[in-house]
Amino acid sequence: MVKPHVPGPPLFLQAETTGTSLWYDRAVMIGWDTGGRYEVAFPESGDDRLAEALASAGALVTFDGFRLDLPFLKQHSPHLPLPEHQIDLRTLMRRKYGAAKTPSAKEHRGERAPNLWYGYRAGDPGALRRLIENNHAAIQRLKAMWRDCAGQPAHQTPPLSSRYLDLWIAQAGAPTPLFTYDRLRLDPNLRVVGIDLTGSETRPSGWCLLEGARAETRRIKTDDEMLARIADAAPAIVSLDSPLSLPAGRLRVDDRDPTRAQFGINRECERVLRRRGVGVYPPLLPSMQALTTRGIALADHIRRMGFPVIEGFPGAAQDILGIPRKKASVEYLRDGLTRFGVMGEFRQGRVSHDELDAITVAIVGLFYIAGRYEALGDEQEGCLIVPDLRESAEIMIQ
């Protein structure tokens, strides 16, 4: 039996974050329990109760905290007095039950925290209530795992007091606004085309024409129709959601390329995003090869028509803008684009997630024209463009 020994009362902690990227995401709420008392703090409130609790704790107990909770805590508050004894219950549970019977971090935490925090920011105090309730439940699971590892009997946990919930919700303060279109200070007649491309003309791609802040969206199957619409729109730039280049050294897309083993299936821009905690598919993964082939050919044709083309990635842009991705919530994605300042029929009518991603990749084009972007990758492979929200944003090549 694995029995944890600590010199004083343990503090059970779980941080709720907007995602898993230390580069783009942040901790928005921290819950902890010590001595049977559950507390919540919001990092931006300047609350010092967590520091006081940590200073008197015999040990800090988390679940997968070395990978998730602690890096976010140290990033936001590098001077927090973390206890010398830090215990990751995921490690203890794996020792006792094996990996197959130990919950994953996703199973323990769930995936709702970013959506609930966004819902609160969008004006729903009930979303914050649910976030606190979920955090409280997760910490009770931590305590149950602790007792399990120590060979102690389980016991029933009383429900969270509604009165305390109301106090914490009031403490969180008003929702903060998202970055908005107006701050880009662009010509209201500027035209940008965004395309959320698929790997085949048999499946429709998302299409968006942004004229100023007004979006016109549709789904288009063929390259010929896309090219005709680009010619009619005469945009300042076309922003494509598709890999538009091969990794340096690669000769062709498919796996029969003799240089595959030497140069791999990733470009530098994918490696940069992964180092930042942003999930992205390799452009030469077998399931991505058709998309990469189509994207390179389409971009080449558009450039020969006289229109500049950039490569964008809606998922990364949504992470940076603080908007949930489509896999988390299509409605919150629509709401986030609306709050950014985009107008159009998509706000009320039926719209596909491909069209919403096309709007997002068109927005990347706006940031590029405004000079508020970061170019990820290198000049040999070509760069992936992502928005840069810093006030002193400069054109950068990572």
**In the predicted model, what is the mean pLDDT of residues 193-214?**
98
Number of domains in the chain: 2
Residue 326: per-residue pLDDT: 83
pLDDT at 398 over 60: no
Average pLDDT value for the chain: 88
Element (H, E) at 326: none
Is 130 part of a structural domain of the chain?
A: yes
Cα–Cα dist 164/307, whole Å? 58
pLDDT at 354 over 90: yes
**In the predicted model, what is the mean pLDDT of residues 255-277?**
96
Is 328 part of a structural domain of the chain?
A: yes
pLDDT at 396 over 70: no
Task: Please check whether residue 208 is in contact with residue 358, taking contact to mean a CB–CB distance below 8 angstroms.
Answer: yes
Q: CA torsion 121→124→130→135, rounded to 10°? A: 20
Q: Residue 38 is part of a domain; what is its CATH number?
A: 3.30.420.10
At 346, list the tokens.
């998509």
Out of 3-12, 25-34, 293-302, least confident range: 3-12
CA-based nearest residue to 376, from 335, 316, 290, 299? 316
Whether 139 and 39 map to the same domain: the answer is yes
Is 2 part of a structural domain of the chain?
A: no
CA-based nearest residue to 387, from 366, 25, 310, 379? 366
Task: Please check whether residue 63 is in contact with residue 14, taking contact to mean a CB–CB distance below 8 angstroms.
Answer: yes
194 strand-pairing partners: 208, 239
Is 3 part of a structural domain of the chain?
A: no
pLDDT at 342 over 50: yes
Whether 137 and 15 map to the same domain: the answer is yes
Whether 135 and 225 map to the same domain: the answer is no
At 368, list the tokens.
């590029």
Burial of 346 (0-12, 13-18, 19+ CB in 10 A): buried
pLDDT in tens, 205-234: 999 999 999 999 999 999 999 999 999 999
Tell me which residue range forms the domain holding 161: 10-172
Residue at 235: amino acid letter: P
Whether 160 and 213 map to the same domain: the answer is no
Q: Could you say which of 172, 202, 224 is where a domain stops?
A: 172
pLDDT at 259 over 90: yes
CA-based nearest residue to 119, from 213, 16, 23? 16
Strand arrangement of the beta sheet that strand 59-62 belongs to:
37-41, 27-34, 10-17, 59-62, 86-88
Among 15-19, 41-45, 100-104, 229-233, name the most confident range: 229-233
Is 338 part of a structural domain of the chain?
A: yes
